[in-house]
Amino acid sequence: MRWIFIVSMAAALAARGLAATDAQCSGILQHALDAGNPETRKQAVVALSLASGHGPLFDQLAGMLQDKDVEVRLAVVASLGDVKSERSTAALRTALQDDVPEVSFAAAKALWARHDRAGREALLAVLGGESKSSSNFLSKRKREGLRMMHTPRTTLLFAMQQGVGFIPVPGLGQGIASMQGILASSGVPGRALAALLLGADRDPATLEALRDGLSDKDSSVRAAAVHSISLRNNPALKKEIEPLLLDDHEPVRLRAAAGYLRLSAIEASARMQKGSPAVPPPGPREQKK
């Protein structure tokens, strides 16, 4: 069924000269969210950290706190943590009631990070021993986390989480969960790390390098390039990530769909603010050579 969907998507894009639509991107993500494979659902949830915190897909993201797979629910909490809105905060408060300690604890940390009283109270309860904060699953994750503390990827992750060079956009995710997904692989190449680290750099040469990364033979590099181009928040770059909607690798394809929707939302917001349907041209630093 997945390949039937991809083939039909390819046919639709080919018929329109690779002119993607928001509906097609939403369809790609929706198809993955509905998948029977929990890893596919998790990849879709992670990708949504790049997209808007409003609309049907966000509603389904919040609803997936009921997913039967723990990894999926943890990914949902991470993506919700990227979106600073009242709706995401309400969803995180719901996650505090999760039966699995890892999920409720992750929700508490996310709420505490946004200075929400419910998160603070939950963490105080853990500190006071009023709730269980560990399990076999969590212990495994903690061991992995301690091991990763000694790798360059963790240093990069910390720097990125501090928002180095990235300007948050109200109502849109910050992409932290997407970045974590890319860094999760032990074999992620240095090119992917560079694409993530240089994503906020506005030098024209950096944009050209990210464009090159979109066609890299390594899927993690392509995913990182899509991620960073999406976070440049320039709607003129939608056409750059459009071809990746047909990528053979799911993490790349889903990030391209989420990134496309992100840039469409920014474009629509700019039109509303200017009261004109005209789309502002890209700045001189974002124009392709």
3-class SS of residue 102: helix
Compute the distance between CA of residue 150 and CA of residue 49 in angstroms, rounded to an integer.
26
Q: What is the pLDDT of residue 151?
A: 44
Mean pLDDT across 244-273: 92
* Other beta carbons less than 10 A from residue 146's beta carbon: 9
Q: What is the pLDDT of residue 180?
A: 84
- Cα atoms found within 13 Å of the Cα of residue 206, Cβ hemisphere only: 15
Contact predicate 227/175, CB 8 Å: yes
Contact predicate 213/221, CB 8 Å: yes
* Distance from chain centroid for Cα 222: 14
Helices and strands (DSSP H and E) totals, the chain:
16, 0
User: What's the mean pLDDT when you consider all of the chain?
Assistant: 78
Mean pLDDT across 217-221: 92
Residue with token string 């639709």: 12
Q: What is the pLDDT of residue 149?
A: 41
The DSSP bridge partners found for residue 52 are: 172
Nearest CA among 267, 257, 182 for reference residue 26: 257
Per-residue pLDDT tens digits for 155-178: 455 445 544 455 566 667 778 888
Per-residue pLDDT tens digits for 184-198: 876 778 788 778 877
Compute the distance between CA of residue 214 and CA of residue 219 in angstroms, rounded to an integer.
9
Judged against a pLDDT cut of 80, whether residue 282 lies above it is answered with no
Residue 161 is encoded by which pair of tokens? 């989480």
Per-residue pLDDT tens digits for 67-98: 999 999 999 999 998 888 889 999 999 999 99
Residue with token string 């709420």: 111
Contact predicate 17/35, CB 8 Å: no
* pTM of the model as a whole: 0.71
Ranking 109-118, 148-157, 235-244, 250-259 by mean pLDDT, the lowest is 148-157
Q: What is the pLDDT of residue 262?
A: 92
Q: How confident is the model at residue 152 (pLDDT cuts 50, 70, 90)?
A: very low
Per-residue pLDDT tens digits for 12-26: 544 454 557 889 999
